[in-house]
Structure 1
């Protein structure tokens, strides 16, 4: 009987607010990075194979001194606006991760916004890279800004 009373007393205490575990304050909702969909990555890989592979190679490592690598570089993993701008405006003579590249990349404006988003999403998630997807809206915003 005494054991039952002790057990009941413990159960009553466990339910008391004084012993209840405090819940952490709710966090502000984090801005989620857009995850790369497998469909976008597959489409992007096809676009890469048709338009980028010759210069940047199948492994994304480019050609020393000529065409920059796409694997694990700040240019690819960093600012998406800058990366989109490379497709829209081309690029010539650039220093990437401390190495100079002298090749000329022409603007790829023949690609539509969806194709650009897909190929950049593929590049940002291929070759050992892990980064958020590039959206059509982001490409549109940079393209619109580039026309002004």
Structure 2
């Protein structure tokens, strides 16, 4: 029992260290306007995403996809925005099938969606352009029609 508690504590410390290192890297490379979006996006990620995609963005094999260098994260912004707004189920991503259901987060504001996706697209080794509120609005309008 004591060994399990020690191991769990070590894993939490490791996750906190990884996130702190990622923050340093993100803030070195992003424009000033995107930095505030990344910071706000990290809060959204912690509240809604971390339980499935984990602190390091590694996901869970066969359940929740990783957020590290995948076509979904680094590809078309509209596709990842649609995924956040509509959710996902039984999806294949980059040749791997993930069976857990991702709920729709369509109740998040356009800013929250833009911030969390900017955070993800600039964390975990990803370095992609920010997702803007205008990107989210445009995608949301198309989904409503």
State the superposition RMSD in angstroms: 1.3
Please say which structure displays the higher CA radius of gyration: 1
Offset at residue 103 of structure 1 (A): 0.7
Structure 1 stretches of 4+ moved >3 Å: none
Offset at residue 70 of structure 1 (A): 0.5
Confirm or deny that 1:132 pairs with 2:135. Answer: no
TM-score, length of structure 1 as denominator length: 0.75
Q: Secondary structure at the match of 2:108?
A: coil
Alignment map for 1:89-128 (pairs within 5 Å): 89-128=86-125
Structure 2 residues without counterparts, runs of 5 or longer: 1-29
**Aligned length in residues:** 115
How far apart, CA to CA, are the structure 1 residues paired with 2:75 and 2:114? 15
1:27-54 deviation digits (Å, cap 9, x = unpaired): xxxxxxx956110000000100000000
Bigger fraction of residues in helix: 2
How far apart, CA to CA, are the structure 1 residues paired with 2:144 and 2:103? 17
Per the alignment, residue 34 of structure 2 pairs with 37
How far apart, CA to CA, are the structure 1 residues paired with 2:92 and 2:124? 20
1:6-38 deviation digits (Å, cap 9, x = unpaired): xxxxxxxxxxxxxxxxxxxxxxxxxxxx95611
How far apart, CA to CA, are the structure 2 residues paired with 1:75 and 1:87? 11
Bigger fraction of residues in strand: 1
TM-score, length of structure 2 as denominator length: 0.77
Per the alignment, residue 48 of structure 1 pairs with 45
Structure 1 residues without counterparts, runs of 5 or longer: 1-33
